[in-house]
């Protein structure tokens, strides 16, 4: 018997409009959470971790995964103070392990976390989805942010499409687009202003793709030994979208990038979060193939779908109907579980979450974090659960 994947749901903590009681009804048994109120770079104290853990357990869940312990910008930029922040990070890992929480997701995206241009893109059935519209991003970059050097990042056709898009916007549309693109980390209400964002861009002026990769390797070489000692499994989340955005380098976009992460410090504690939504925005990423080849390193699964459009745009589609063949993905995941079983590994029940969901039905009555509606995610989770059951029963 191959055990089921562990069904999890992200919960942003006591301020999340989606309650643990509501999540209970989705059928999820695990919670994915983080101490969003602790400023990035500070140590998470045992006391604070215990409080969150107790809240989650009292509601009848396990705190399955931490997503994320965010990485201080000085580590990504490679500043001298990075060593202090790496020490803090190690301490946080030791504290989490002391509380019995051992799967830790993180990402290595400069400044911004995921990037979208529209948070309320209406589909024909009335559902609301997140969208990345390439001409809108280009219009922002070229004409609103007016980033130095942006011109060279876009072809003549792309510049024209961006200009036409900009001309269709009203002033309030421009403000909405700006606030959408410059939204900060998930779980915070922080939105960068254009001048603040430009200061960050300045800090990254010397950081290209290669330096960022080296800085990631440096981080791993210092963190993973501590993760190993304490039994923590680190799992990096791919960049979303998996392309350089606003002139900032990105280094976790492709299979080769993931292989480079794993090779930077080979260890069972140095793994990946396989996010089909993020990787799936690039048609060149063969996700079932990635699972087949490097699935041994997966510690956490985000199973959502995107619908790719011709110009590099995409929107978040229903979990089973986007551009990624979710059936093929699930089959590859089940095969990975079978491989693990045959090699005597105990981590067969990989934690999985539906990641994001559409806003549907009663979701419109709650002001949840973008993409983190309850009914939309419940629908995604239920579809994935059915798919998993079908794949397993047909074996
Ligand atoms: C999400 C992210 O974009 C995604 O796929 O899972 O919002 C996630 O919160 C962070 O980028 C990394 O964990
Ligand atoms: Mn994800």
Residue 43 confidence (pLDDT): 98
Residue 125 confidence (pLDDT): 96
> Residue 59 burial (CB < 10 Å; 0-12/13-18/19+)?
middle
Measured in Å, residue 265 CA sits from the centre of ligand 2 at 23
Residue 352 confidence (pLDDT): 98
User: What's the rounded Cα separation, in Å, for the pair 118 and 130?
Assistant: 6
Pocket test for ligand 1, best of 351, 355, 357, 372 (most atoms within 8 A of CB): 355
Measured in Å, residue 355 CA sits from the centre of ligand 2 at 6
Any idea where the domains of the chain sit in the sequence?
A: 6-113+205-305+326-394, 118-201
Quote the distance between the C-alpha of residue 333 and its chain's center: 19
Output the ligand 1 site: residues, CB below 6 A.
67-68, 105, 107, 113-114, 186, 237, 240, 275, 277-278, 302, 355
| Helix locations, the chain, DSSP H | 20-24, 46-58, 73-77, 82-98, 134-139, 156-167, 171-181, 194-203, 209-230, 255-264, 276-279, 287-294, 326-342, 374-393
* Contacting residues for 125 by C-beta, under 8 A, at least 6 apart: none
Pocket test for ligand 1, best of 9, 107, 130, 186 (most atoms within 8 A of CB): 186
Residue 369 confidence (pLDDT): 93
- Per annotation, catalytic residue among 275, 299, 358, 369: 275
Quote the distance between the C-alpha of residue 61 and its chain's center: 22
* Contacting residues for 14 by C-beta, under 8 A, at least 6 apart: 55
User: What's the rounded Cα separation, in Å, for the pair 177 and 168?
Assistant: 13
Residue 72 appears among annotated catalytic residues: no
User: What's the rounded Cα separation, in Å, for the pair 215 and 209?
Assistant: 10
Token look-up 């002391």 returns 98
Residues in a beta bridge with 371? none
pLDDT lower than 70: segments of the chain: none
Nearest CA to 114 among 268, 239, 272, 280?
239
Contact in structure between 297 and 271 (CB atoms under 8 Å): yes
Residue 229 confidence (pLDDT): 98
Domain 6-113+205-305+326-394 belongs to what topology?
A: TIM Barrel (3.20.20)
User: What's the rounded Cα separation, in Å, for the pair 62 and 205?
Assistant: 42
Residue 199 confidence (pLDDT): 93
- How many residues does this entry show for the chain? 395
CB atoms within 10 A of CB 155: 9
355 Cα nearest atom in ligand 1: 6
Residue 184 confidence (pLDDT): 76
Residue 145 confidence (pLDDT): 96
User: What's the rounded Cα separation, in Å, for the pair 144 and 135?
Assistant: 13
Residue 40 appears among annotated catalytic residues: no
Measured in Å, residue 275 CA sits from the centre of ligand 2 at 5
């Amino acid at each position: 018997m191959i055990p089921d994947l562990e069904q999890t749901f992200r919960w942003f903590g006591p301020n999340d409009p989606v309650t643990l009681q509501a999540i209970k009804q989705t059928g999820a048994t695990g919670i994915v959470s983080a101490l969003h109120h602790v400023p990035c770079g500070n140590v998470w104290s045992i006391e604070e971790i215990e409080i969150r853990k107790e809240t989650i357990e009292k509601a009848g869940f396990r705190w399955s995964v931490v997503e994320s312990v965010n990485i201080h910008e000085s580590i990504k930029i490679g500043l001298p103070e990075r060593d202090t922040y790496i020490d803090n990070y190690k301490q946080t890992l030791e504290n989490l392990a002391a509380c019995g929480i051992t799967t830790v997701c993180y990402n290595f995206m400069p400044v911004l976390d995921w990037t979208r241009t529209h948070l309320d893109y209406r589909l024909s059935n009335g559902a609301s989805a997140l969208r990345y519209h390439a001409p809108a991003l280009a219009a922002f970059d070229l004409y609103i942010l007016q980033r130095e050097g942006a011109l060279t990042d876009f072809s003549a056709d792309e510049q024209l499409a961006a200009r036409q898009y900009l001309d269709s916007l009203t002033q309030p549309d421009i403000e909405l687009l700006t606030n959408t693109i410059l939204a900060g980390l998930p779980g915070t209400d922080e939105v960068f202003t254009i001048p603040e964002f430009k200061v960050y861009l300045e800090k990254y002026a010397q950081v290209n793709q290669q330096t960022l990769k080296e800085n990631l390797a440096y981080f791993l070489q210092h963190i993973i030994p501590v993760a190993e000692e304490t039994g923590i499994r680190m799992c990096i989340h791919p960049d979303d979208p998996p392309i350089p955005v606003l002139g900032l380098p990105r280094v976790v976009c492709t299979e080769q990038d993931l292989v480079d992460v794993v090779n930077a410090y080979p260890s069972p504690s140095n793994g990946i979060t396989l996010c089909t939504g993020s990787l799936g925005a690039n048609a060149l990423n063969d996700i079932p193939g990635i699972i087949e080849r490097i699935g041994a390193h997966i510690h956490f699964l985000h199973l959502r779908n995107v619908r790719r459009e011709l110009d590099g745009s995409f929107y978040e589609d229903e979990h089973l109907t986007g551009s990624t063949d979710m059936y093929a993905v699930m089959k590859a995941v089940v095969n990975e579980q079978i491989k693990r079983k045959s090699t005597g590994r105990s981590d067969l029940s990989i934690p999985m979450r539906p990641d994001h969901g559409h806003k549907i039905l009663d979701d419109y009555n709650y002001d949840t974090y973008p993409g983190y509606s309850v009914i939309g995610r419940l629908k995604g989770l239920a579809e994935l659960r059915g798919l998993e059951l079908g794949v397993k029963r047909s074996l």
